[in-house]
Chains A and B, each alone.
Chain A
Amino acid sequence: MGKIKVKVLRHDPEGKVKDKFDEFEVSVEEKSTVLEALMKIYDTRDSSLAFEHGCRAQNCGLCVVNLNGHPRYACMARITADAEITPLKHLPLIRDLVFDRRPFFSYLAKFRPYVVREKDPDEEPETLLQPPEHSKLMSCRECFACLSSCPTYDCQNDSFGGPLGFVKLAQLHYDRRDCLDRVSQAREMGILNCMDCSACTCISGIPLNKIVIRPFLALLGEGSDD
């Protein structure tokens, strides 16, 4: 493909100007990914560029960025001329494209985010059939893209857990072994403030609205009837 120009948002907490765009010229090939372009910038233009990446195979969820405003795994998205690469939104930034995941997990820890069983199974291995929603939900890579695409989520506001929070609860809600009331937890997490706008996107293809948001809202609607 040859040389293209790419814009990257730089965030520097130690510098005078905290946020600005830098433009880089990089030579790429037709199938080059966003990650390859970032690596090239890092290797040949500016080794102070901070970004995260792990497995190169859409498994670890580390390399997620906004590409022209849409969340994408950098390792799987193709780079295009004049692309604009920015960090995910609504999250605490550390530097350039790197954000802090820690506060979300500390927040989540309050909801006992693990399978809580009433009693151990009678026999091993136990016979178990999970509903199909469960395995879909378990493919969540916790990449945080859904939080970036949610207009209501804000990492500073604890009263709303955001789509990722609801996914983590839904994983347990659909798990036949778990005995806690995850629906009430979804209310505590502020799901009633969800605008049901379907803006939240999951890169891994989990139908968030269909198997997370709507079912929780419906169950809460029913719950408030009696």
Chain B
Amino acid sequence: MKHTFDAIIVGSGGSGLYAALEVSAKAKTAVLSKVYPVRSHTGAAQGGISAALGNVEADDPRWHAFDTVKGGDYLVDQQAAMLMAEEAVQAVYDLENRGLPFNRTPDGRIDQRRFGGHTRNFGEAPVRRACYAADRTGHMILQTLYQQCIKNGVHFYDEYQVLDLALKDNQCAGVVALQLSTGEIHVFEAKTVLFATGGFGRMFKITSNAYANTGDGPAICARRGIPLQDMEFFQFHPTGIKGLGILISEAVRGEGGILRNNRNERFMARFAPTLLDLAPRDMVSRAIMTEIRSGNGIRGDRKIDDYVHLDATHLGKETLQSKLPDITDFCKTYLGIDPAENPIPVLPTAHYGMGGIPTDTHGRVVIDNKGTLIHGLYAVGECACVSVHGANRLGTNSLLDLVVFGRRAGRHMADYVNHGDPAGIATDATDFSREWITRLTAKKKGPHGGRIFDKMQRTMMEKVGIYRTETHMARAVGEIQTLRERYMMVRAEDRRNAFNTDLLELIELGNLLDLSLITAVSALNRRESRGAHSREDYPDRDDPQWLKHTLARLEKDDVGLTYKDVDVSLWKPKPRTY
């Protein structure tokens, strides 16, 4: 079936919905999403959204921008970060005006709380910058934006999984999608397409991410010749529930929770004397792994699955219940403990991809160092790389990224739709998708997809995880290449059309394998340590050689690398201490 729109938005998380809201004011817009809109992963974001409102103490967008740049270990494009920090304030007011119920101070103003890496006056001390709606900030953002999209008459295609992007020369023509409830292939023709497909944490064995976070957008773009930027930078959040990776929000430390080792020591005092437990995530995650490796983990056996304690017992039952109710539930269900009485066993968990589809500050996809565009193609949110997070994202800056750049991209698209002619979608647009599905559902015996999935996740976790070395990463590249070969023989056991989970998972596996390869190769080639990319064989940041963005192009079974300048026009890179 074929559908024609002015604008197609792929993904209905915070970023996709915001863009849809803006573009639908002026153009016929459809949102395609493989999960129901308000069930997108944005809904899991509990901590909050940052903006220098200065509501509860003095704050300044310039401090916010600086924290973002420093937190990102200077791989952030500085003007973009400044723009985000400046537009943050209005973005929060807009969200509220559209119906988002932020928590209030007793006198009715938007309340704010602390989060890692956010400071007053260029690093002096932590500042209250995160606006929040109980521990449901992301959920409320989705609710608010979805309601407004309904108001604007956006067409929603729920449970449609996009498989491919149609390009004509350097212009975007539309997308191809699979309708999950029927198994039917649909073509969506549009002058402009925006990818907002979210993260790809499922590349790793232990992750905080939802099952749907399989990086479909970046993988689709990569297969169509678009390079991916800075994929070697993947953030591990310090506090995942041991063994499961389910996130214990940084808000626990924001409210006063403390990390402790087996001597009950607050070890962050040794790693980040000023910000302590609220240092940026890459540092805290490394500190935890260092403690574990030196035998200071709770078991003390130095094994990779040893853990540390997140102590929230001193916060009291009341604070936990009123400010962090979900945390108590998780601990009871998954660990059988009450966080008001016992410390929580935690371990870093794969959380956020700083890299993604390269864009400018209008969300336009830019494919090289010269600013070459794919006309009509946009990307925002976690699947994109502007780059405002550089080598390590600060907490609460992702939700901000979604709304600021979602809005900017939507506005730009609305403008773009009214200029020039559509590319028109080619008749063979569905060939690639059909062949893929035919192969996966062919009545032959093939290897089990689940095993390949598991092997990929373990390889990435163990060899391209928090600490990295040349030998391990080189091995990972080889292993992923082998898995990609075996993937060509994989078959779905389920052959029905309606809601074929087996088939969908195999498609997602294909996407993750492509991204794993790109990530591993990009990481192997960056011979320095910066932010979340931390190499034991090159422990220092090396600005003369490596102050540059990676652009990685998928070339069949290999990855070609080029590099792109970083904008450091506001602050000179300095060593990063907290």
Contacts and interface: CB of A to CB of B under 8 A. Distances in A.
Contacts of A48: 493-494, 496, 500-502
B453 to A, nearest CB: 9
A182 interface: no
B538 interface: no
Most buried by A among B53, B330, B335, B498: B498
A102 to B, nearest CB: 6
A197 interface: no
Given A125-B93, A125-B110, A62 B35 contact: yes
B53 A31 contact: no
B482 interface: no
Given A57-B326, A125-B96, A128-B104, A115 B147 contact: yes
Nearest to B505: A47
Nearest to A11: B498
Given A55-B210, A125-B109, A175 B501 contact: no
Interface in A29-73: 31, 33, 42-43, 47-51, 53-62
B215 to A, nearest CB: 16
A60 B330 CA distance: 14
A101 B498 CA distance: 15
Interface string B481-496: 0000000000011101
A174 to B, nearest CB: 10
A57 B39 contact: no
Interface string B34-61: 0110110101100000000101000000
B39 A61 contact: yes
Interface residues of B, number: 57
Name A's interface SS: loop
Contact of A59 (B139, B211, B502): B139
B246 A50 contact: no
A129 interface: yes
Interface in B515-549: none
A43 B134 CA distance: 36
Contacts of A55: 41, 43-44, 210
Contacts of B498: 13-14, 50, 94-95
Contacts of A113: 147, 150
Contact of B150 (A49, A51, A114, A175): A114
A159 interface: no
A12 to B, nearest CB: 7
A138 to B, nearest CB: 6
Interface string B330-353: 100111100000000000000000
A57 B247 contact: yes
B444 interface: no
A112 B497 contact: no
A76 B104 contact: no
A60 B93 CA distance: 25
Contacts of B333: 31, 33, 76, 78
A109 B498 CA distance: 26
A100 interface: yes
Nearest to A127: B108
Contacts of B330: 57
Given A48-B494, A55-B210, A138 B39 contact: no
Contacts of A100: 181
B86 interface: no
A124 interface: yes
A208 B136 CA distance: 19
A94 B158 CA distance: 14
A98 interface: yes
A127 B53 CA distance: 14
A139 B134 CA distance: 9
A120 interface: yes
B180 to A, nearest CB: 8
Contacts of A56: 210-211, 244, 246
Interface string A86-110: 0000000011101011100000010
A33 B332 CA distance: 12
A47 B494 contact: yes
Nearest to A117: B97
Nearest to A205: B325
A165 to B, nearest CB: 15
Nearest to A76: B333
Contact of A76 (B38, B55, B329): B329
B499 interface: yes
B499 A94 contact: yes
Contact of B101 (A101, A120, A130): A130
Interface in B295-341: 326, 329-330, 333-336
Interface string B130-168: 000110100110010001101100000010000000000
A100 B244 CA distance: 30
Contact of A142 (B38, B107, B335): B38
B53 A177 contact: no
B374 interface: no
A61 to B, nearest CB: 6
B44 A59 contact: yes
B98 interface: yes
Given A50-B499, A51-B501, A94-B499, A114 B99 contact: yes
Contacts of B44: 55, 57, 59-60
Contacts of B96: 125-126, 128
Nearest to B453: A43
Given A14-B498, A31-B336, A54 B108 contact: no
B497 A14 contact: yes
B188 to A, nearest CB: 18
B501 A129 contact: no
Contact of A115 (B98, B500, B502): B98
A51 B109 CA distance: 43
B212 interface: yes
B128 to A, nearest CB: 15
Interface string A180-217: 00000000000000000000000000000000000000
A134 interface: yes
A142 B40 CA distance: 13
B256 interface: no
A156 interface: no
B450 interface: yes
A223 interface: no
Contacts of B158: 101-102
27 contacts: A31-B336, A33-B333, A47-B493, A47-B501, A48-B494, A48-B496, A49-B501, A54-B41, A54-B212, A58-B329, A59-B44, A60-B44, A60-B210, A76-B329, A95-B496, A96-B499, A101-B158, A109-B150, A112-B151, A113-B147, A114-B99, A127-B107, A129-B108, A135-B134, A138-B134, A141-B139, A175-B99
The 4 A-B pairs at the shortest CB distance, nearest first, are namely A114-B147, A48-B494, A115-B99, A127-B108
Given A48-B493, A125-B93, A130-B101, 9 more contacts: A31-B333, A47-B501, A47-B502, A50-B498, A61-B39, A94-B499, A114-B148, A125-B53, A138-B136
